Amino acid sequence: MKISFRPANERDPGPEEAEELFEKAVEKWGTEPQLRMVQEEAAELIAEINRYLRQRTNDLDLAEEVADVLIMATQVAHILDQKHPGLVDRMIGHKLTRLKNLVDPPE
């Protein structure tokens, strides 16, 4: 499972290094703490979206919470990929095909 993003500058880890970091994070903290961290970050994003919709926050703070969730969700994908190689990739493909059919229905 590869994370896809463009590093904003040369100092930041790129996609390959990010993958190594995910492996090290799971080795260091274990699966359950990482899953709990995803829950925590998802909850923070939900709260931030509520603030955003009430104009109580800004694009920068929303972007921070989006980044947290993307990073942690990708770690969960990485954990699942160890048990079931390609499963999340197949699921993403399935979901994107469904979205494509909704956005641009076949005639």
- Point out which span in 8-16, 26-34, 67-75, 97-105 binds Mg ion (CB under 5 A): 67-75
What are the residue ranges of helices labelled H in 1-107?
A: 15-29, 31-53, 59-83, 87-103
Closest-CA residue to 8 (of 52, 60, 73, 58)? 60
d(CA 13, CA 9): 9
CB of 63 to Mg ion, least distance (A): 11
How many residues belong to the site for Mg ion (CB under 5 A)? 4
Binds Mg ion by CB under 5 A, chosen from 68, 74, 77, 79: 68
Residue with nearest beta carbon to Mg ion: 68
Residues that bind Mg ion (CB under 5 A): 41, 44, 65, 68
